[in-house]
Amino acid sequence: MVSHVLEIRDLATHFMTRAGVVKAVDGVSLTVGRGEVLGLVGESGSGKSVTGYSIMGLVDPPGRVVGGSIKLEGEELVGMDDDSLRHVRGKKIAMIFQDPMMTLNPVLRIDTQMTEAILAHENVSKKAALARAQQALERVGIPAAAERLKAYPHQFSGGMRQRVAIATALLNQPAVIIADEPTTALDVTIQSQILAEIQQLCREMGTALIWITHDLTVVAGLAQRIAVMYAGRVVEAGLVNEVLDDPLHPYTRGLLGSLPSAAIPGQPLDQIPGSTPSLGRLPPGCAFSPRCRDATELCRQEAPVNRYFSNGRQARCHHPVSTIALVATPSDV
């Protein structure tokens, strides 16, 4: 049995709004191994960010985790009281957000914002915390770290700010880092730099990484495993190479087919028809069925359950199509 650092089963997070219940996350099961990189892919509205927040326990009301289990190094996070959860946050799991200009407080210095992350969990002297912060900045490649500590966020460029956020996340040597589209707001050139750097850092420190993104190409180069989300559910997951070479779920196939790189020049791009459903009004049956070319009556009536295959692959589809023969395994893997 592979020891997983993070095990999520049937996670459900619902938002009780005035217009009705919005099932932002409704049946997400994932595993992340120690030091592994998992790419969580989906369009906006698929629930991928909410999944990240749910793991951190940062879902804002009127949202709530309503069911499922999240086990971090064996410890159950769902249902944990706020105080204990706070001790886990920032220490065992850390999060990096999309826009570093918004996530760093503009009126506080960098050293304040970094040392507080340490001091919230450990009883060390301010000096020791400062030293660790400086080390972290150096490790992410920020020059003249000692002076930079005394600076304010607006004095850094976008890429540097994100590096600060990464350094902050690594300060307490967490077991898992959740990165919510951290390079989307940056220049393309900086993007690849940061990607490579994060990858290396995580490898060095043995930290597992969940990389949330809408960009399949990013995941291809970065992650070992991938999970594809649609309408609040994981519709396919597995090793990156296997999923990208041989997608089981029609949505994954559609995503891959619509990539500009996969297109033949001159021909119209292969799009998935229709648009993502509103999470407050999901169709009965498979959420993807209205847009699926191969949907049958069964698909429209009954929601498919997660089917497990060899090699840790899963797919939520009544008719998964594989180019190679795969053996289905019982669902309690």
Q: Is 106 in the site for other proteins (CB under 8 A)?
A: yes
Please report how close the Cβ of residue 109 comes to other proteins at its closest, in angstroms. 8
Tokens of residue 8, six digits: 């999520």
Q: Is 224 in the site for other proteins (CB under 8 A)?
A: no
Tokens of residue 271, six digits: 């799009």
Q: Give the residues across from 230 on adjacent strands.
A: 233
- Size of the residue set binding other proteins (CB under 8 A): 29
Q: Is 121 in the site for other proteins (CB under 8 A)?
A: yes
> In this complex, which beta carbon is closest to other proteins, that of residue 149 or of residue 237?
149
Tally Cβ neighbours within 10 Å of residue 77. Answer: 22
Q: Is 88 in the site for other proteins (CB under 8 A)?
A: yes
Q: Cα–Cα distance between 288 and 315 in angstroms, integer?
A: 13
Q: Which stretch binds other proteins (CB under 8 A): 41-49, 81-89, 215-223, 236-244?
A: 81-89
Tally Cβ neighbours within 10 Å of residue 321. Answer: 13
DSSP secondary structure string, 200-258?
HHHHHHT-EEEEEES-HHHHHHH-SEEEEEETTEEEEEEEHHHHHHS--SHHHHHHHHT
Please report how close the Cβ of residue 67 comes to other proteins at its closest, in angstroms. 23
Q: Is 126 in the site for other proteins (CB under 8 A)?
A: no
Q: Is 94 in the site for other proteins (CB under 8 A)?
A: yes
Q: Is 108 in the site for other proteins (CB under 8 A)?
A: yes
Tokens of residue 4, six digits: 């997983």
> In this complex, which beta carbon is closest to other proteins, that of residue 53 or of residue 251?
53
Contact yes or no for 317/248 (Cβ under 8 A) = yes
> In this complex, which beta carbon is closest to other proteins, that of residue 56 or of residue 201?
56
What lies within 8 Å, CB to CB, of 143 at 6+ separation is: none
Q: Is 112 in the site for other proteins (CB under 8 A)?
A: yes
Q: Cα–Cα distance between 81 and 83 in angstroms, integer?
A: 6
> In this complex, which beta carbon is closest to other proteins, that of residue 90 or of residue 247?
90
Please report how close the Cβ of residue 24 comes to other proteins at its closest, in angstroms. 16
Q: What is the contact mask toward other proteins in residues 55 to 74, using x (rule: CB under 8 A)?
A: -x-x----------------
Q: Where are the alpha helices (DSSP H) in the chain?
A: 48-56, 82-88, 100-103, 110-119, 126-139, 145-148, 158-170, 188-205, 216-222, 240-245, 250-257, 297-301
**Three-state SS for 316?**
coil
Q: Which stretch binds other proteins (CB under 8 A): 62-70, 116-124, 230-238, 259-267?
A: 116-124
Q: Is 168 in the site for other proteins (CB under 8 A)?
A: yes
DSSP 144: S
Chosen residue from 155, 241, 322, 331 binding other proteins by CB under 8 A: 155
Q: Is 99 in the site for other proteins (CB under 8 A)?
A: yes
**Three-state SS for 137?**
helix
Q: Is 139 in the site for other proteins (CB under 8 A)?
A: no
Please report how close the Cβ of residue 219 comes to other proteins at its closest, in angstroms. 22
Q: Which stretch binds other proteins (CB under 8 A): 69-77, 95-103, 129-137, 301-309?
A: 95-103
Q: What is the contact mask toward other proteins in residues 16 to 45, using x (rule: CB under 8 A)?
A: ------------------------------
* SS3 letters across 261-272: HHCCCCCCCCCC
Residues near other proteins, by CB under 8 A: 56, 58, 86-91, 94-95, 97, 99, 102-108, 112, 116-117, 120-121, 152, 154-155, 165, 168
